[in-house]
Structures are given as structure tokens and as C-alpha cells.
Structure 1
Amino acid sequence: MMDKQRFEHVYQPLWDLFNWSIFGYESLLRVNGINNVEHLFQKAREEGCLYELDVTSLESSIVQFPFLEKKGRLLFLNVYPSTVLHHEFKPFLKRVVERFPYIENRIVFELNETKEEEGIWKDEELKAAIAWMRRYGFYIAIDDVGKGASTLQKIIELQPDYVKLDRYFAQGLAADEEKQKMVSLLTSYCGRKMVLILEGIEEEVDLAQAKLLRVPAAQGYLLGKPGKLPLAKDRYW
């Protein structure tokens, strides 16, 4: 299953709502012959090879993304906290940067939340690993904020560069004053320290409301569905 030749990636755009431009793409894994990628990762966890699958996906996404053609655009990559803490992860990142020096300051690692890894978030070594990644030219995002019970605590303690607000808040935003208050509160909190990204935008009226609330960035089917990009010219397998 970890044959790189079977890995494909689709990329969904993230929009800057102030300048009305694409500033990045989130990479989403597709594997030939596998209908549910989440089940594949769960199976890898059960078999004790989650780290290997995770970094194989990261590497193939980096290779397939046309960094040189998409100048200035960020690449958002999902990663498990356990992968970040793995003893081979730092050497892996160093090898990737050495091979592709132009990715510096172009990659955002989205930390995935799972029940199996909830305890890892409290590990001081995770904070240290994140600090190291930042020094090495990578950015950090916390995904699905508002979905888990302790995501606000994680924002305060980890101070990510990007905060991705769960799609729940985008759905029906224009008609829900309580959601508007919460989105406004988080927008104010993030300020200039972090970039708040509202996920799951599917309706024009909700996009308009997000802009009225001064949400700086958004992602969703209305703004662009996941799709293939022209193949990178520097693929190496």
C-alpha cells in the first residue's frame, strides 16, 4: 500500500478573503485501489506502520506539488502528532529540505486530532518539536478547531500560525447569530498573530457573512473543489 507510484494527491485552494486571491493549497491523499484513505491510515496504526505511511504521503505530496509554478503559494500538509514526535521525523525533514531547498517557508503542517493521540498534545516534547520545525522554516496549523473538546487550549498553548475553524461554523453562518458571535470572537483573538481559516464554505451567503465578520481566509467547495494540479517538473521517481 505504501508504493509511491500508487499515491496521488488532489489540492484544494485556500483563499485570502481580503485580497481575494489563492494563497495556498491543502493536499489530500488518494490511493489507487483504496476507496477510504482514513481506513488505510487506521489499518496502518493497527499494524504499527502509521509513521511510515504518514511520511510517505508527505513526501509524495511535496514531490507532486508544483512549487516553482505556484510561486509564493503555501502547501498545507496533514500530519499526525505521533509522526512529529517520531525519532526519524527530523532527519526526514532535513533530507527533504536538502533535496528541495525552495520549500522553505512554503509548507504548513496541519496537526491532525485523533482520539488515539489525545494524550500526545500534552507532551512537552511536542511543543519542542514544533518549535524546531518553525526554526527550520515550517509553519504550524491546528485543524478542525471547535470540533474537539480542548482545541482552544491547544491554540493558547501551541500558538499556531494558522487556525482552521471546523466546517460546522461555516454551515448556515449567515442565519445563525451564535455562530457569528463565535467566529467574530475567534477572528478577534487571532488578530495578526495567527491566520483564521474558515473551512467548509459552500454557500455564497455564508461567504458574504464571513467577509462581513472580517474572517481573513476560507476554504470550501464554493471556493474550489479538490483537484489535480499540473505535475511538478522536478519529480524524482
Structure 2
Amino acid sequence: MHLTQNLEKEFIYSITHWFQPIYNLKNNSVIGYEALLRDASDLQLSPVNILKNAEQKGCRNILDLTSIKNALDIYKGESHYLFLNIFPSTLLKGNFLSWWDIHVPRKIPVVLELLESEPISDWEKLKAIINELKRRGIKIAIDDMGAGYSTIRQWVELDPEFVKLDKYFSENLSVNTRKQKIIKSYADLFSDTSKLIIEGIEKKEDLETIYHLGVQYAQGYFLGRPSPRKKDNDNKKHVDKILKI
């Protein structure tokens, strides 16, 4: 099946996206928004269940592409980065780049987050596709480093512009010295090649801790909850106040 076929005929779910801000803690500004999948039907399925159903029906890659199209349609007119989740297997489909050139406007600044929930089956082909995407101005992020199949090898092989650290490491970070050491080591490791984003920041104390560890970028409920196409200006003021430390 070709990726450029009419996806709406192949995909039966009604989906939409909510957007969660990602902050630059050094100047208290939003650098972008991650598009998070939501069920737009009356069923109100969780994103996990949507993915499971798509995998069971053999259309997970179609869900990927439909999700990207939906998020791009909603996000039109924005100037911040749009972080889009994608499975490595979708990138490895034979005519993915042709599909991308047809459906993705060049004016939208896109960051593709490689999901951690599946292994990479062909490193050389994936590297070649990512290099082609970079030539088109697309940036790459490794999602949830430290969870699933996201490993240091991805950083070495794929040279991503962003690395997102799994939310496990931010939970109760302020009182966990081992996690603090791990985050500090990652911050030092990536400092001259990739921007490190800590996910799952839900407490003031954990935000202050990553700030003092030298981490510049963060995402989480404490900074801004996912919302349907909405700027979180109230949270912006909140963060400004917190980070004057």
C-alpha cells in the first residue's frame, strides 16, 4: 500500500490534537509545542488505546501519517516549533519522503520526535532518510531517552537537535540525588551537540532543581498542561516568577 493513498479511506478513527508548551528556562520563553493525540469521537479513547487499536488492525503507520496531517492543519500560522511524534518504522516506509514533500508545508518549523516504543530495524536507511529530512529544514528529537528503545546509540548515530529525557527522571527529582547526577551527566554530554529537554515537570521543586543543574529546556504540567490550540500566557507569567531565583 502506498503512503500517498487517501489515508482517510484507510483510517477510521476521529482524532484531534492538544498542544503542550516546551519552555526555554533561561529566558522564560516558549520554544515550541508538542502535538498530543486525542480522540475526537464520542468514545473518548485514550491515546494508548488508539495506538493499540491501530496496531491490532495493522494501520499504525497510517495513524502516524494521519496524526501528522491533523496536527499540521490545526497548527497553521504558528511560528514556534511543532514537535510531532513518529514511529521509526513510518520513516522507513519506501516512499515516506515523497509523502512528506506532498503533505508537509515547508513554512512550518517541524521537529520529528522518534518514539521509543519500537526498535530500529535498519539504521543505515533511517540515517539516510533523516539526513534528507534535515536538508528540508526538519529537526530531529529523540523521545523519552532512558525508556523503551531510546538509547545513547540514537544520539550517536542520528545527531538529533533535541533529546527528551523520560519523565521518570524528573519525578521527585529534587530529593533524588542519583537522578540529579544522571541528569547532570546528560546535560554535560549533550551540551555542545543537542538541546536537552526534561519531560514531566510537575512540581516547583523539580523545576528549580533542573534549572540549577544547568538544563535549559523543560516540559510538563507545572509549566503548562496540554490544551486545544491555546497559548498558555497565564502559565508564562507563572514561570517568569518561579525562575527568578
TM range, smaller chain: 0.7 to 0.9
Match of 1:89 in 2: 96
Task: Tell me, in whole angstroms, the C-alpha distance in 2 between the residues paired with 1:49 and 1:148.
Answer: 21
Match of 1:57 in 2: 67
- Give the superposition deviation at 1:193: 1.2
Match of 1:118 in 2: 119
Q: What TM-score do the two structures reach when normalised by structure 1? A: 0.87
Q: Does 1:187 align with 2:187?
A: yes
Q: What TM-score do the two structures reach when normalised by structure 2? A: 0.84
Q: Does 1:28 align with 2:36?
A: yes
Q: Which amino acid aligns with 1:101?
A: R
- Give the superposition deviation at 1:87: 1.6
State the SS of the aligned residue for 1:220: coil
Task: Tell me, in whole angstroms, the C-alpha distance in 2 between the residues paired with 1:174 and 1:80.
Answer: 32
Q: Which amino acid aligns with 1:82?
A: S
State the SS of the aligned residue for 2:62: helix
Q: Which amino acid aligns with 1:29?
A: L
- Give the superposition deviation at 1:42: 2.4
8 Å CA contact 2:201–2:218 kept in 1: the answer is yes
Match of 2:235 in 1: none
Match of 2:20 in 1: 12
Q: Does 1:217 align with 2:217?
A: yes
Task: Tell me, in whole angstroms, the C-alpha distance in 1 between the residues paired with 2:120 and 2:130.
Answer: 16
State the SS of the aligned residue for 1:134: helix
- Give the superposition deviation at 1:176: 1.3
Match of 1:101 in 2: 106
- Give the superposition deviation at 1:44: 2.0
- Give the superposition deviation at 1:173: 1.2
Q: 1:166 to 1:63 in 2, by over 3 A?
A: same
Count of residues in correspondence between the two structures: 220
Task: Tell me, in whole angstroms, the C-alpha distance in 2 between the residues paired with 1:150 and 1:203.
Answer: 25
Q: 1:168 to 1:230 in 2, by over 3 A?
A: closer
State the SS of the aligned residue for 2:215: coil
Q: 1:107 to 1:119 in 2, by over 3 A?
A: closer
Q: Of the two structures, which has the highest relative contact order with CA contacts closer than 8 Å and spacing of 6 or more?
A: 1
Task: Tell me, in whole angstroms, the C-alpha distance in 1 between the residues paired with 2:149 and 2:137.
Answer: 30
8 Å CA contact 2:35–2:82 kept in 1: the answer is yes
Task: Tell me, in whole angstroms, the C-alpha distance in 2 between the residues paired with 1:149 and 1:39.
Answer: 20
Q: 1:143-222 residue pairs with structure 2 within 5 A?
A: 143-148=143-148, 151-222=151-222
Map Cα deviations across residues 140-175 of structure 1 (whole Å, 9 max, x no partner). 111111123661222122221100001111111111
Q: Which amino acid aligns with 1:81?
A: P
Map Cα deviations across residues 153-212 of structure 1 (whole Å, 9 max, x no partner). 221222211000011111111111111111111101111310000000000011001110
- Percent identity, please: 37
Task: Tell me, in whole angstroms, the C-alpha distance in 1 between the residues paired with 2:152 and 2:230.
Answer: 37
Q: Which amino acid aligns with 2:33?
A: Y
Match of 2:49 in 1: 39
Map Cα deviations across residues 68-122 of structure 1 (whole Å, 9 max, x no partner). 2x32x1000000011001123111110124xx3311xx100001122xx3142x5
Task: Tell me, in whole angstroms, the C-alpha distance in 2 between the residues paired with 1:101 and 1:130.
Answer: 16
Match of 1:229 in 2: 229
Map Cα deviations across residues 29-67 of structure 1 (whole Å, 9 max, x no partner). 11222412222222222322222111011001001014x
2:11 pairs with 2, 20, 25, which one?
A: 2
State the SS of the aligned residue for 1:118: coil
Task: Tell me, in whole angstroms, the C-alpha distance in 2 between the residues paired with 1:57 and 1:216.
Answer: 29
